[in-house]
Amino acid sequence: MTVITDVPDAPRAARRPQTGNPVLRWLRANLFSSIPNSIISLVLLAVLAKGIFSFVQWGIANAVWLTPANDSSACRAARGIGACWAIIPEKYRFILFGTYPFDEQWRPALSVLLFIALFYLSTRRAWWRRELIYIWVGALALISVLMWGGVFGLSFVSQDRWGGLPVTLILATFGLAFGFPLGILVALGRRSKLPAIRSLSVLYVELIRGVPLVSLLFMASVMFPLFMPSGFNIDKLLRAQIAIILFAGAYLAEVIRGGLQAVPRGQYEAADALGLSYWRKNRLIILPQAIRHVIPPLVNTFIAFFKDTSLVLIIGIFDLLTTAKTAIIDPAWQQFSVEVYIFVAAIYFAFCFAMSRYSRSLEATRGR
Amino acid sequence: MTTDHPRPPPRRSFFGAWGRRELKGLFWQLLVVGIAVAVIAFLWSNTVTNLSARRISTGFAFLGREAGMPIADSLLSYSPRDTYFWAFVVGVANTLRVAVIGIVLATILGTLIGISRLSANWLLSRLAAVYVEVLRDIPLLLQLLFWYVLMQALPAARLAWRPVDGVFLSNRGLILPSIPIGMPQLWVLGTALLGLAAFYVIRRALIAQQMRDGKPRKAWPIALGLIVVLPALVSVLLGVSWKIEWPELRGFNFVGGLTLAPEYFALLIALITYTSAFIAEIVRSGIQSVPRGQWDAANALGLRRSFMLRQIILPQALRVIVPPMTSQYLNLTKNSSLAVAIGYQDVVSIANTTLNQTGQAIEAIALIMAVFLTISLGISFFMNWYNARIALVER
């Protein structure tokens, strides 16, 4: 296909009637503008129609939506021809909250809502003030009280009974809440003029980013007890949380470093000219600008990080993915794992998609 | 807020010419290094005490012992009687087998999808956008488990699907026809590789010549001769056989052909589709970063479309594409460690088994880190070299 042949097309296109049915016009412009384009469109339409048709047949028309409690016979009868959505009402409380005491499950549910409210608030530009930090501290404290209990008449629930969505949100949120300041410190360290501090920061970032998260988690679950004085034993969830914070710190540090590099030198010089100390200079002048520069990549790092918390499945912590995987061990429901995975995928997707939309909107309004 | 603080009066430095700033720098460095050393010493002494309390010896002597673990799927020959060292080598080979093939296929698929997103065809660009959004926003581990469940739900060997003759898809994995590779075939492949290297050198010389006199020279006949004709000649002269081995169903299993085990196949699909979504975005933004004027100028010159893409658009797009692509390749390689979740034995999975069998936690983790740092450095090194080659030369 040469460009030359496009030229005789031009008058023909001009001759085309511009009036007429707007739908037809849209179709011609967007789907059937040329012969190869038309072929692509037709093939895609055929594949799409077939795909949608089989999904509707499997997922809706032939699906089993409800069964009597703990009875999967209807599902087994429909196996292969229809989905078994009945497994979701049967298992959703286990998937969402794990083995948290059944009667107390309003507490993790409320925690999840608190988390969502917290995230929502943090995305509002009008709320980007110092008070937001206090709100974060307060909300995280409230969530800890709700999850653990033991005060205000709430019964105590030990950490090994937590599970599901709250655990995923806790791992991700606390990972960010502690990883972010850590990342700032390391990023500043990497840009520091002091050679010892700079090399320590580089070593930390490169070591953590050079290995898979899985191996960090193994390290947390197997080696932590070796590192600690005998008799001092910390919880498995906390161990994984520490590994995740270290991991988040290294990745966030690199993003923030990019932001620091984008702040013009004049700003540093102006701060120095004012006689500000190192910390005041960074806190008041450099960091606010640096972080504003990198908010979209920061959100993208948050998304990656939120998904990566699912890796704690490998060391047996009951996050959302692990509860889903455990829910289908039940012999009666074993064959319907695809449905459960779709359900959990939808939850992860909702969180990540919201974040990615948000990052997109930030990029669109950047500089304003 | 801070402007109303009066500036502190300049203080006379206690150390004379050696300023306050240097002193402060030294203090902070000593403090941070001191803390780091103290923490490491604390952890180290705890570890030594704990290891001796649990009677775990340190060192890599265990690598010479018999591993006794089975490895289901590997390129290298292995039996449970082999040593831990060999098991590690097999694990590294398995990791590389996933990473290399995954990187190649993810690049191809990602590029196709990235270009599709820019297509004038509304349906194609929309479908590509949906593909990218969905795959990017679901954890890789979940996708991996999903593919693995689907693999297990495939029919048994006797009822295997045959999309094409000689290809079987069943719960035993994907079985393909193959060509048995032995010493004579390797000779021919070696010749082709040598030819490729020779062509590379010759092409550089040709380009240098073109730089001098401005005349373009055709390189493809030389390429054909060196990479295709020469190996073919060697093949004929040595009488190497290239008979295709067709897989066959015998009893309950397949005989012959190349088998991709379900674990390997699921891991490969998950890594390829997941990474391709990220690569698609990189390719898209790279192509979009080429200014419109460059397209218009190339069109105005009446260049052929393939020439235009190869010589004008791609070289500029690649400058934007290559650095983030490097980190995607590194991610894919690191993500291959999720294999442990479905029981494909990559190096992390084998290290983990070793760790559980011997208790040599520090050594096993150190080996994992060494392997991944080496691979990462290798990929970074290659990509940085490539990046430097294609980077904008400003004169």
Whole-Å CA distances, B181 to A159, A172, B206, B241, B244: 55, 49, 35, 10, 10
Whole-Å CA distances, B56 to A115, A265, B24, B64, B369: 44, 54, 44, 16, 21
Mean pLDDT, chain A, integer: 85
Q: Which residue of B has its CA nearest to A314?
A: B341
Task: Look at A230 and B145 and tell me if their CB atoms are within 8 Å.
Answer: no
Residue B24 tokens read as 């402060």
Residue-wise pLDDT for A254-267, tens only, equals: 999 988 888 888 88
For B345: left if phi > 0, alpha if psi spans -120 to 50, otherwise beta; the answer is beta
Residue-wise pLDDT for B306-343, tens only, equals: 888 888 888 888 888 888 888 899 999 999 999 999 98
Query: What's the rounded mean pLDDT across residues B227-233?
Result: 86
Residue B54 tokens read as 């649990």
- Give, for A7, the enclosing helix (H) or strand (E): helix A6-15
The answer to whether B2 contacts chain A (CB < 8 Å) is yes
pTM of the model: 0.85
DSSP string, A187-210: HHHHT-S-HHHHHHHHHHHHHHHH
A13 CB-contact burial (10 Å; exposed 0-12 / middle 13-18 / buried 19+): exposed
Residue-wise pLDDT for A42-92, tens only, equals: 998 999 999 999 988 888 888 888 877 777 788 888 777 888 888 888 888
Query: Nearest-5° angle of CA A98, CA A100, CA A103?
Result: 125
Give the integer Cα–Cα distance in Å for B147 and B154.
11
Distance of residue B389 Cα from the nearest chain A Cα, in angstroms? 24
Residue A212 has pLDDT above 80, yes or no: yes
Per-residue confidence (pLDDT) for residue B206, from 0 to 100: 87
The answer to whether B247 and B177 have CB atoms below 8 angstroms apart is yes
Per-residue confidence (pLDDT) for residue A4, from 0 to 100: 37
Confidence label for A2 from pLDDT (cuts 50, 70 and 90): very low
Residue A359 has pLDDT above 90, yes or no: no
Per-residue confidence (pLDDT) for residue B173, from 0 to 100: 84
Query: What's the rounded mean pLDDT across residues B28-44?
Result: 89
Residue B37 has pLDDT above 80, yes or no: yes
Report which of A19, A157, A303, A259 is spatially closest to residue B277, judged by C-alpha positions.
A303
The set of long-range contacts for B297-306, using a CB threshold of 8 Å and a minimum separation of 24, is B299/A3, B302/A3, B302/A4, B303/A3, B304/A2, B304/A3, B305/A1, B305/A2, B305/A3
Task: Look at A226 and B28 and tell me if their CB atoms are within 8 Å.
Answer: no
Residue ranges of B 85-144 with Cβ closer than 8 A to chain A:
119-124, 127, 133-134, 136-143
Q: How far is residue A239 CA from its own chain's centroid?
A: 21
Distance of residue B339 Cα from the nearest chain A Cα, in angstroms? 10
Query: What's the rounded mean pLDDT across residues A211-220?
Result: 88
Amino acid, res. A367: G
Residue-wise pLDDT for B46-105, tens only, equals: 888 888 887 777 778 888 888 778 887 777 788 888 888 999 999 999 999 999 999 999
> CA quadruple A267, A268, A274, A280: dihedral positive or negative?
positive
Residue A16 has pLDDT above 60, yes or no: no
Distance of residue A326 Cα from the nearest chain B Cα, in angstroms? 13
Residue A363 has pLDDT above 80, yes or no: no
Q: A-chain residues within 8 Å CB-CB of B351?
A: 215
Residue B389 has pLDDT above 70, yes or no: yes
Distance of residue A203 Cα from the nearest chain B Cα, in angstroms? 12
For B302: left if phi > 0, alpha if psi spans -120 to 50, otherwise beta; the answer is left
Residue A355 has pLDDT above 50, yes or no: yes
Query: What's the rounded mean pLDDT across residues B194-201?
Result: 90
Query: What's the rounded mean pLDDT across residues A350-367?
Result: 83
The answer to whether B340 contacts chain A (CB < 8 Å) is yes
Residue A222 has pLDDT above 50, yes or no: yes
DSSP string, A65-118: ---STT--HHHHHTTTTS-BTTHHHHHHHHHHHTTS-GGGTHHHHHHHHHHHHH
Give the mutation candidate from B123, B353, B356 for the A interface (greatest A CB count, under 10 A): B123
SS3 call for A123: helix
Task: Look at B137 and A348 and tell me if their CB atoms are within 8 Å.
Answer: yes
The answer to whether B317 and B278 have CB atoms below 8 angstroms apart is no
Distance of residue A280 Cα from the nearest chain B Cα, in angstroms? 9
Residue A9 has pLDDT above 50, yes or no: no
Q: A-chain residues within 8 Å CB-CB of B365?
A: 215, 218-219, 222-223
Alpha-carbon Rg for chain B, nearest whole angstrom, is 28
Per-residue confidence (pLDDT) for residue A368, from 0 to 100: 47
Per-residue confidence (pLDDT) for residue A8, from 0 to 100: 39
Per-residue confidence (pLDDT) for residue B1, from 0 to 100: 45
Residue ranges of B 344-373 with Cβ closer than 8 A to chain A:
348, 351-352, 355, 361-362, 365, 368-369, 372-373
Query: What's the rounded mean pLDDT across residues A281-293?
Result: 87
Residue A135 has pLDDT above 80, yes or no: yes
Q: B-chain residues within 8 Å CB-CB of A356?
A: 133, 136-137
Confidence label for A312 from pLDDT (cuts 50, 70 and 90): very high
Mean pLDDT, chain B, integer: 85
